[in-house]
Structure 1
Amino acid sequence: MKSIQRLLWFGVAGVTGLAVDMGTLMILHESMGAYGARIASFLTAATATWLINRRLTFTGRSAGVGIWGEYVRYLGLMLGGGVVNLTVYSLLAWKFSQTPLWLNIYVCAGSLAGMAINYLGTNQWLYRHKGSQESDSIFSR
């Protein structure tokens, strides 16, 4: 798959993850607060993007490990972008309004800030192997 196509699919996965992120945040905001709900929404979104990226974005490339190793490595990589993401979100939520609309805007700002780090990590490190990997299921390649 060409780099431009891969980047576009990564963007599709990111937008889908953003929708999952914001939906989860809105559902959990009242019960968990702005910060607890944000951590839960981030983990849910990261799982959704992993499923899309492993199936569509990096098809034909392999992490070179089993499915659960791939998932753990993916989450680890997402933490790099996630630290940037959550830092931007937290600074904005600390400084400005915490209404649901503004919280979603802060999620968008954080997501954009972390996207470049996440793409570089997945493209250059996790899915660097050519060829398909044997699947253990979970929306196999």
Structure 2
Amino acid sequence: MIVQFFRFGVVGVIGFLVDSAVLYAMLWLSMGFMSGRFVSFLCAATATWVINRRITFSPSAHRSVLREWVSYIVAMSGGGVVNLLCYRLVMSSFHYQTYLPLLAVGAGSIAGLLVNYTVAKFWVFRRPKHDPNPQN
């Protein structure tokens, strides 16, 4: 389980990079801080789902890919709420600097990490009790 959590964390760093890059692209396109963050979160969650299903968790053969993705996005929304609230708090608490959205995304990502891991492991990528190929 420690190796799995480490992998989840590494994938989270990749998600952070996707999140930050997309957010700055949305801000460059004149999107607001929150609407841009919504788009960047969705892109990051999709990227981490793709990677997590390949290297962190074994996908269940009993669930369709679309259903798994929807489950993952819904599951990450719990941590996403924590993430977005933290982002909003940081953005509204400090004078704007070019690096502030990056720090706010980082703070939000750390805040949502444990919630997201727990939900991903025990709900999205859970194995049926009768599955002959148990997870890590």
| TM-score scaled by length of structure 2 | 0.89
One-letter amino acid of the structure 2 residue matched with residue 99 of structure 1: Q
Superposed displacement of residue 100, structure 1: 2.8
Of 87, 93, 96, which residue of structure 2 is paired with 1:95? 93
Of 8, 18, 31, which residue of structure 1 is paired with 2:16? 18
Aligned CA distance change for structure 1 residues 5 and 63 (closer, same or farther; 3 Å): farther
The aligned residue for residue 135 of structure 1 is none
Contact kept? 1:63, 1:126, Cα under 8 Å:
no
1:7-49: CA deviations, max 9, x gaps? Answer: 1110111000000000111111131021111111100000000
Rounded to whole Å, the distance in 2 between the matches of 1:67 and 1:98 is 40
The aligned residue for residue 85 of structure 1 is 83
Q: Does 1:58 align with 2:57?
A: yes
Q: Does 1:35 align with 2:34?
A: yes
Alignment of 1:96-135 (within 5 A): 96-129=94-127, 130=131, 131=133
Rounded to whole Å, the distance in 2 between the matches of 1:63 and 1:122 is 16
- Identity between Structure 1 and Structure 2 (%): 43
Local SS of the residue matching 2:99: helix
Contact kept? 1:21, 1:41, Cα under 8 Å:
yes
Rounded to whole Å, the distance in 1 between the matches of 2:62 and 2:70 is 13
One-letter amino acid of the structure 1 residue matched with residue 41 of structure 2: F
Q: Does 1:8 align with 2:6?
A: yes
One-letter amino acid of the structure 2 residue matched with residue 73 of structure 1: S
One-letter amino acid of the structure 2 residue matched with residue 107 of structure 1: V
Superposed displacement of residue 63, structure 1: 7.3
| TM-score scaled by length of structure 1 | 0.86
The aligned residue for residue 45 of structure 1 is 44
Rounded to whole Å, the distance in 1 between the matches of 2:61 and 2:122 is 11
**RMSD of equivalent CA atoms:** 1.5
Rounded to whole Å, the distance in 2 between the matches of 1:72 and 1:63 is 16
Rounded to whole Å, the distance in 2 between the matches of 1:38 and 1:98 is 16
Name structure 2 gaps, 5 residues minimum. none
Question: Taking CA–CA contacts closer than 8 Å with sequence separation of 6 or more, which of the two structures ends up with the larger relative contact order?
Answer: 1
